[in-house]
């Protein structure tokens, strides 16, 4: 669906520190509308001094924030959500322009962000500890969840708002302070808007800061700041690895959400219509630029031709263009760098090595035609690397065991298997080495459990309610 171009509002992403939006310390850098390349906003790189001040202000503000009641924090999170809801139409247009996604993608992203706030607002008022069985007479033992402290949060450009919110909402809910660095391609939806909404909601100064800027300087300064208690990073494997290495050397807690070379398996008894629809959706949603995109399609030989035909028949009908002004299925690739990375770096060398283009394979500026490659072997770069673009490589296997081995050969986040026999699907899924596997589906689920443990640590408190006799050597001697 095309969205209607509305007010051509121009945005500025500024550092938001200790409850204030600061004047830029460096040059303004344009933020481009991804479909047209026209600058529609601007940001500045936050300096090392600003990052340092943001973390210190967060550290100062965090203890009082942790002491507020869960009800009060819950109330503020709801006010934050209401503020995003109030700006719904404006934010949908903004997300389309800044990320190049369709209006469905923008609705999903804004909806997930609001839901995450509301979920955290509820979860924070739920049980956050336990009374443990006494291990000696008269002892009451409590365990309670304690905030970690200051969280440094670094996010990518594909779902800038909801990926920030994934850690921001539970982080704040459980009494942490958060310093966020959005991606440089999306500093408005991923940073400025969140700061404005939290500010309007009335969060105390300092508990949430935003420091826009690039990765190697602003991001690195934040990730290595000595006063962080957790660095939470979502992005590429390479940068995540670097950040985790630093965190390990400095005994710092780190949470990383990285990329995956996910697989979509079609066994010989699958419903091919269902499988083809799910495969097209899983591979091409938001131009294939999500961490759970199906990047490798592993298909048993007896159904490979029919599956490929069914996929191509669907891809033929897809339209590519500016989602702000046209009703299209796919928008632009986020940047030329990303386009060249997968086209020049993965698609062309795989074609040179023998892969065939069944459909697509070309582009006009950032508008890349959805592409199906056949004859892909497990050695080709399109198979061995995460694509992060609208390309579906199809690899034929002879047996189910071969399919399983290929799925597990690479790092994956989410995989799918299609089969007419659900128990066969379950047996296959149990042997797949990823945290998430779907039988006869390509949809994922996020959030929910695990939030409390991710953003707090457990503190054990023992209360002795009756006098205890200690060993004789610890007691006062009879002589005194």
Q: In the complex, which residues of this chain contact ligand NAD (CB under 6 A)?
A: 154-158, 163, 181, 183-184, 214-216, 219-220, 223, 234-236, 239, 242-243, 257-259, 291, 386, 388, 413
Cβ of 214: how many Cβ atoms within 10 Å?
A: 15
Select 236 or 377, whichever has its Cβ closest to ligand NAD: 236
Select 81 or 154, whichever has its Cβ closest to ligand NAD: 154
Select 76 or 432, whichever has its Cβ closest to ligand NAD: 432
Select 106 or 243, whichever has its Cβ closest to ligand NAD: 243
Residue 345 has φ and ψ, to the nearest 5°, of -80, -30
CB 400, CB 408: distance < 8 Å: no
Cβ of 357: how many Cβ atoms within 10 Å?
A: 17
Sheet holding 139-147, edge to edge: 129-132, 139-147, 456-464
Select 114 or 239, whichever has its Cβ closest to ligand NAD: 239
Greatest CA separation found in the chain?
97
* β-bridge pairing 39-43 and 29-32: antiparallel
Select 260 or 425, whichever has its Cβ closest to ligand NAD: 260
* β-bridge pairing 294-300 and 262-266: parallel
The least CB distance from residue 239 to ligand NAD, in Å, is: 4
CB 280, CB 308: distance < 8 Å: no
- The CA-CA-CA angle for residues 57, 63, 68, to 5°, reads 115
Q: Name the E strands within 259-390.
A: 262-266, 294-300, 356-359, 363-364, 367-368, 371-374
The least CB distance from residue 49 to ligand NAD, in Å, is: 17
Return all residues near 175 (Cβ < 8 A) that are at least 6 apart: 62, 65, 66, 67, 68, 73, 146, 147, 456
The least CB distance from residue 163 to ligand NAD, in Å, is: 6
CB 19, CB 120: distance < 8 Å: no
Among all residues, whose Cβ is closest to ligand NAD? 215
The least CB distance from residue 293 to ligand NAD, in Å, is: 8
The least CB distance from residue 181 to ligand NAD, in Å, is: 6
The least CB distance from residue 94 to ligand NAD, in Å, is: 18
Which residues participate in catalysis according to the annotation? 257, 291
């Amino acid at each position: 669906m095309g969205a209607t171009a509305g007010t051509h509002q121009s945005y500025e992403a500024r550092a938001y520190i200790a409850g204030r939006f600061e004047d830029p310390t460096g040059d303004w850098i344009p933020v481009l509308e991804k479909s047209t390349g026209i600058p529609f906003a601007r940001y500045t790189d936050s300096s090392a001094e600003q990052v340092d001040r943001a973390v210190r202000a967060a550290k100062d503000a965090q203890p009082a924030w942790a002491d507020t009641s869960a009800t009060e924090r819950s109330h503020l999170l709801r006010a934050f959500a209401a503020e995003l809801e109030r700006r719904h139409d404006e934010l949908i247009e903004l997300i389309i322009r800044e990320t190049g996604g369709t209006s469905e993608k923008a609705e999903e992203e804004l909806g997930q962000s609001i839901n995450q706030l509301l979920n955290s607002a509820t979860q924070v008022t739920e049980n956050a500890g336990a009374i443990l069985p006494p291990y000696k007479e008269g002892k009451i033992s409590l365990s309670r969840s304690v905030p970690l402290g200051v969280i440094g949060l670094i996010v990518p450009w594909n779902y800038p708002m909801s990926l920030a919110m994934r850690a921001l909402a539970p982080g704040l809910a459980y009494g942490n302070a958060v310093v966020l660095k959005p991606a440089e391609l999306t500093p408005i939806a991923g940073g400025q808007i969140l700061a404005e909404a939290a500010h309007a909601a009335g969060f105390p100064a300092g508990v949430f800061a935003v420091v826009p800027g690039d990765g190697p300087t602003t991001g690195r300064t934040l990730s290595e700041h000595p006063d962080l208690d957790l660095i939470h990073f979502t992005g590429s494997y390479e940068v995540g690895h670097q950040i985790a290495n630093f965190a390990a050397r400095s005994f710092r807690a780190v949470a990383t959400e990285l990329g995956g070379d996910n697989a979509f398996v079609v066994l010989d008894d699958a419903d091919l219509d269902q499988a083809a629809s799910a495969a097209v959706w899983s591979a091409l949603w938001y131009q294939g630029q999500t961490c759970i995109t199906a990047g490798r399609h592993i298909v048993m030989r007896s159904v490979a031709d029919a599956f490929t035909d069914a996929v191509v028949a669907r891809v033929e009908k897809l339209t590519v263009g500016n989602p702000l002004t046209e009703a299209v299925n796919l928008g632009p690739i986020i940047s030329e760098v990303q386009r060249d990375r997968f086209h020049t770096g993965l698609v062309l060398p795989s074609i040179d090595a023998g892969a065939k283009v069944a459909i697509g394979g070309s582009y006009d500026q950032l508008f890349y035609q959805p592409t199906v490659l056949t004859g892909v072997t497990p050695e080709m770069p399109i198979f061995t690397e995460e694509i992060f673009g609208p390309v579906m490589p199809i690899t034929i296997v002879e047996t189910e065991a071969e399919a399983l081995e290929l799925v597990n050969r690479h790092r994956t986040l989410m995989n799918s298997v299609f089969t007419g026999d659900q128990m066969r699907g379950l047996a296959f899924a149990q042997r797949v080495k990823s945290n998430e596997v779907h039988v006869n589906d390509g949809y994922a689920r996020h959030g929910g459990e695990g939030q409390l443990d991710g953003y707090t640590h457990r503190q054990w408190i023992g209360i002795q309610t009756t006098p205890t006799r200690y060993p004789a050597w610890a007691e006062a001697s009879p002589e005194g």
